[in-house]
Amino acid sequence: MSIRFQLLIIALTTLVLPWAGCQYARELETTLRVSQENSLQAAAATIANALSAQPQRVFRDVEDREAFNANQGDLYAFSLHNQPLLDGYREDWDLAVGPKALPTAGTLGARLQAGFTERYLFIYLEVDDPTFNPEPSDVHPEQDRFDRVNLTLQRPEGALESYFFATGAPGLIEAQSVVKSDDGIDHAALEPRIQAFWLQMSRGYHLEVRIPRSLMGPRLWVEAIDGAGGGKAGFMGAETLRGGRVFLTTPGLNELLATFIGPGTRATVIDTNGLKLGLAGSLTLNKEDDQREAGGTWYRRFVAGDTSHWPLQVSAPDHIEGQSVAGALAGHRSAEWLRADPSQASLLSAAAPLLVGGQTLGAVVLEQAGDQLLELRDRALIHLFNLTLLATALAVAIAFGVATWISVRIGRLRLAADTAVTNDGRIRLDMPESDRADEIGALSRGFERLLARLNEHTQYLRTLGGKLSHELRTPLTIVRSSLDNLESEGVRADQRGYVTRAREGVLRLQSILSALGAASRVEESIKQAERVNFDLNDLLQSAVAGYRDGFRAARIEIDAPPDACFMHGAPDLIVQMLDKLVENAVDFCTASGTITVRLTRALSNYELAVSNDGPPIPPGMLNRLFESLFEHRQGVDDKPHFGLGLYIVRLIAEFHGGAVLAANRSDGDGAIFTAILPLI
Q: Which residues bind other proteins (CB under 8 A)?
A: 470, 473-474, 477-478, 480-482, 484-485, 488-489, 510, 514, 521-522, 524-525, 528, 538-540, 542-547, 549-550, 571-572, 575-576, 578-579
3 state DSSP class of 227:
coil
- Quick one: which H or E segment has residue 161? strand 160-165
Work out how close the CB of 524 gets to other proteins at its nearest, in angstroms, rounded to a whole number. 5
3 state DSSP class of 130:
coil
Work out how close the CB of 538 gets to other proteins at its nearest, in angstroms, rounded to a whole number. 8
Work out how close the CB of 602 gets to other proteins at its nearest, in angstroms, rounded to a whole number. 22
- The radius of gyration of the chain from alpha carbons, rounded to an integer in Å, stands at 60
Q: What is the DSSP letter of 560?
A: -
Work out how close the CB of 459 gets to other proteins at its nearest, in angstroms, rounded to a whole number. 18
Distant-in-sequence contacts of 23-31, Cβ < 8 A, 24+ apart: 24/384, 25/303, 25/377, 25/380, 25/381, 25/384, 26/303, 26/305, 28/377, 28/380, 29/305, 29/373, 29/374, 29/377, 30/305
Phi and psi at residue 24, to the nearest 5°: -60, -45
Work out how close the CB of 572 gets to other proteins at its nearest, in angstroms, rounded to a whole number. 6
Which amino acid would we find at residue 628?
A: S
Beta carbon nearer to other proteins, 35 or 477? 477
CA angle 349, 350, 355 (to 5 degrees): 140
Beta carbon nearer to other proteins, 568 or 624? 568
Work out how close the CB of 611 gets to other proteins at its nearest, in angstroms, rounded to a whole number. 18
Percentage helix, strand, coil for the chain under 3-state DSSP, each rounded to 5: 40, 25, 35
Q: Using CA atoms in the order 51, 56, 60, 62, what is the torsion angle rounded to 10 degrees?
A: 100
Beta carbon nearer to other proteins, 411 or 546? 546
Distance CA 671, CA 381 (A): 77
- Quick one: which H or E segment has residue 85? none
Work out how close the CB of 515 gets to other proteins at its nearest, in angstroms, rounded to a whole number. 10
Work out how close the CB of 546 gets to other proteins at its nearest, in angstroms, rounded to a whole number. 2
Q: Which residues contact 541 (CB under 8 A, 6 or more apart)?
A: 558, 560
CA angle 191, 196, 199 (to 5 degrees): 140
Work out how close the CB of 505 gets to other proteins at its nearest, in angstroms, rounded to a whole number. 15
The closest of 460, 447, 455 to 425, measured between CA atoms, is 455
Beta carbon nearer to other proteins, 80 or 536? 536
Work out how close the CB of 432 gets to other proteins at its nearest, in angstroms, rounded to a whole number. 39
Work out how close the CB of 447 gets to other proteins at its nearest, in angstroms, rounded to a whole number. 36
Question: Is residue 243 a contact partner of residue 218, using CB atoms and an 8 Å limit?
Answer: no
Q: Which residues contact 281 (CB under 8 A, 6 or more apart)?
A: 257, 258, 261, 262, 263, 264, 265, 266, 267
User: DSSP of 445-509, one letter per residue?
Assistant: HHHHHHHHHHHHHHHHHHHHHHHHHHHTHHHHHHHHHHHHHHHHH---HHHHHHHHHHHHHHHHH
Beta carbon nearer to other proteins, 286 or 520? 520
Q: Which residues contact 278 (CB under 8 A, 6 or more apart)?
A: 58, 249, 250, 253, 254, 256, 257, 267, 268, 269
- Quick one: which H or E segment has residue 676? strand 670-678
Work out how close the CB of 544 gets to other proteins at its nearest, in angstroms, rounded to a whole number. 7
- The beta-strand segments (E) located in 205-345 are 205-212, 220-225, 231-234, 246-247, 265-271, 276-280, 334-339
The closest of 637, 630, 593, 648 to 615, measured between CA atoms, is 593
The closest of 109, 100, 105, 97 to 71, measured between CA atoms, is 100
Beta carbon nearer to other proteins, 539 or 599? 539
Question: Is residue 135 a contact partner of residue 146, using CB atoms and an 8 Å limit?
Answer: yes
Beta carbon nearer to other proteins, 58 or 586? 586
CA angle 415, 420, 425 (to 5 degrees): 140
Work out how close the CB of 501 gets to other proteins at its nearest, in angstroms, rounded to a whole number. 17
Tell me whether strands 346-356 and 334-339 are parallel, antiparallel or unpaired. Answer: antiparallel
Work out how close the CB of 548 gets to other proteins at its nearest, in angstroms, rounded to a whole number. 9
